[in-house]
Amino acid sequence: MSSSTPKSAYWEGFRAGAPFVLVVAPFAILFGVVATEAGLTVAETLAFSVAVIAGAAQFTAVQLMTENAPTAIVLASALAVNLRMAMYSASLTPWIGSAPLWQRAFAAYFLVDQPYACSVLRYETGPPMTPAQRMAFFFGVVTPVCPTWYLFTWVGAVVGSRIPPEWALDFVVPIAFLALVMPMLRTAAHVIAAAVAIVMALLSAGLPYNLGLLVGGIAGMMAGARVELWARSQRRRT
């Protein structure tokens, strides 16, 4: 679908992001429940989501806090989980790097999995867009996703204790990440990075403070980078 104006690109992005509400809402509710059960107040839980706006890192931090992990471990683990945002940023820079500074600042704040996944897929595979259209598309995806995260974090914090245990909302977490990651495994580097990260995280599962996640993430990034460098050298030779 072609977007002839920033306005039409915005609504194209909105339509692309809208289905994610179905997974973001229960994911946010689950975080609200977990955070308040860990001892945070409703206001602290909501402030956490607004300030950090990174679900996986938030879950990691709260889990470690409940285990009385040292502050340095909490921060390092949350940072490791969010290192993918740096790669997202580098990936998007060629597409929206020419936008005004204030727009890039807002994009940096709202750079989470769903807007990134939808945007980079659209930029790479869809009809060409101007920088203004690309930015409009990005914020179109953000519109249904991020406010939903805030709202349902609050809902989870307020009514979390009343949710029946048999609802088992925690199933949403792996489903959400699988829905995002699987379509993006388009090269050998992507696949190998994911496989190495999974294997290393499982092998390191016994480490304290969930450090296995940190080990798996670093190993996966190193493996993916090495494969990408090898692939580039092969392309140059041919």
Whether residues 175 and 195 share a domain: the answer is no
For residue 105, tell me if it sits in a domain.
Answer: yes
Q: Contact, 37 vs 163, CB < 8 A?
A: no
For residue 1, tell me if it sits in a domain.
Answer: no
Whether residues 35 and 62 share a domain: the answer is yes
Whether residues 65 and 170 share a domain: the answer is yes
Least confident of 46-60, 96-110, 153-167, 221-235: 153-167
Count of domains for the chain: 2
- Using alpha carbons, select from 99, 111, 102 the residue that is nearest to residue 146: 111
Provide the pLDDT for residue 125. Answer: 87
Whether residues 103 and 129 share a domain: the answer is yes
Cα–Cα distance measured from residue 94 to residue 57, given in angstroms and rounded to the nearest whole number = 26
Tokens (6 digits) for 67: 């285990």
Whether residues 92 and 197 share a domain: the answer is no
Which tens digits make up the pLDDT trace of 178-206? Answer: 655 666 676 787 789 889 988 998 898 88
* DSSP assignment of 89-101: HHHHHHHHTTS-H
Which tens digits make up the pLDDT trace of 110-154? Answer: 999 899 989 998 998 888 899 999 999 999 999 999 999 999 999
Q: Give the residue numbers spanning the domain of 233.
A: 187-238
Cβ-proximal residues to 164 (8 Å cutoff; 6+ apart), any chain: none
Whether residues 174 and 160 share a domain: the answer is yes
pTM: 0.72
Whether residues 219 and 130 share a domain: the answer is no
